[in-house]
Amino acid sequence: MAPDLPFAGRSILVTGASSGLGAAAVRRFAAGGGLVHAAARDQQRLAEVAASCEGLPGTVSFGHLDVASPTDCRAAVAAAVERHGRLDVLVNNAGRHDFRVTADVTDEQWAHDIAVNLGGAFFCSQAAIPHLLETNGNIVNVSSVAGVVGEAYSAAYTAAKHGVVGLTKALAIEHLRSPLRVNCVCPGGMDTPQVHDIEVPDGVDFDLVMRISATRGFMSADSVAAVVAFLASDDAASVHGSVQVVDHGHLAG
């Protein structure tokens, strides 16, 4: 495998791939020669992501995925395997951050937040693991700095992202005696469409909301995608069960 094409011939499924970090990861893998299957709900935006990869060494296909649905999760994994005949990397990136005052969170909102931000990673991993064991592959879960510290007005999201960190560690221990690797990235605030469309409840302390931005400001999605790609590559062959915080130094203090 050429060193400048670290993912040549490798089949990669990226969830939440229609924008932000997911789209950046798709482009990074395609640039490395990967056979990428991009999955999300918005097919038009997925088509635009795929079009942006034209001319790169790899290929990009795409399909529907609502990570709140276990059935969809299993279907997305099956689609990637059917497309490329194998699966080498799963990137569990899909998620959504809604700010809510905890006392006002409904039963339905809690269940949806957990399903999108934790359930999707679990069900995609569950479906992918048998295929990844066949290829000595790996999983990269995307959590958040909210997976290692608290975040205001984000009880469900923070609980779910802590769960993603726990899921990563549990799967890593379960597979200590196999070649499968499982790692986690915890990004801080990124300059993505979700940040620009942020909505917060009336009357909240906005300074608490903006604590995620860190002193250096928001990061580019590309800079975090580089860490995702590293963990998915052979360069990280000895990295297993790790939780990589990428946050411009936000948690250093």
pLDDT band with cut points at 50, 70 and 90 for residue 169: very high
DSSP-derived secondary structure letter, 136: T
The two beta strands, 138-142 and 243-246, are: unpaired
Candidates 12, 199, 18; CA nearest to 95 is: 18
C-alpha distances out from residue 78 to 39, 49, 67, 209, Å: 12, 21, 14, 38
On the question of pLDDT at 214 being above 60, the answer is no
Mean pLDDT of 88-115: 96
Candidates 217, 152, 135, 223; CA nearest to 185 is: 223
Close Cβ partners of 111 (under 8 Å, ≥ 6 residues apart): none
pLDDT band with cut points at 50, 70 and 90 for residue 199: confident
How many whole angstroms separate alpha carbon 204 and alpha carbon 210?
Answer: 11
Tokens of 187: 């990004």
Give the three-state DSSP class for 67: coil
Q: For the chain, how many residues are written? A: 253
- Work out the number of other CB atoms within 10 angstroms of the CB of residue 235: 12
Please name every residue paired with 187 in a beta bridge, in sequence order, or none if there are none. Answer: 246
pLDDT, tens only, 121-144: 999 999 999 999 999 999 999 999
Mean pLDDT over all residues of the chain? 92
pLDDT value at residue 212:
59
User: Among the options 39, 157, 172, 182, which is catalytic?
Assistant: 157
pLDDT band with cut points at 50, 70 and 90 for residue 211: low
On the question of pLDDT at 95 being above 80, the answer is yes
- The percentage of the chain sitting over the pLDDT mark of 70, rounded to a whole number, equals 90
pLDDT value at residue 12:
98
On the question of pLDDT at 1 being above 70, the answer is no
Say if residues 138 and 132 touch (Cβ distance below 8 Å): yes
pLDDT, tens only, 60-83: 999 999 999 999 999 999 999 999
On the question of pLDDT at 39 being above 70, the answer is yes
Which helix (H) or strand (E) segment holds residue 181: the answer is strand 181-187
- Name the phi and psi angles at 84, rounded to 5: -115, 0
On the question of pLDDT at 192 being above 70, the answer is no
157 labelled catalytic: yes
Amino acid 5 reads: L
pLDDT band with cut points at 50, 70 and 90 for residue 154: very high
**What's the fold here for domain 11-246?**
Rossmann fold (3.40.50)
pLDDT value at residue 188:
86
On the question of pLDDT at 226 being above 90, the answer is yes
On the question of pLDDT at 201 being above 80, the answer is no
How many whole angstroms from its chain centre is CA 227? 11
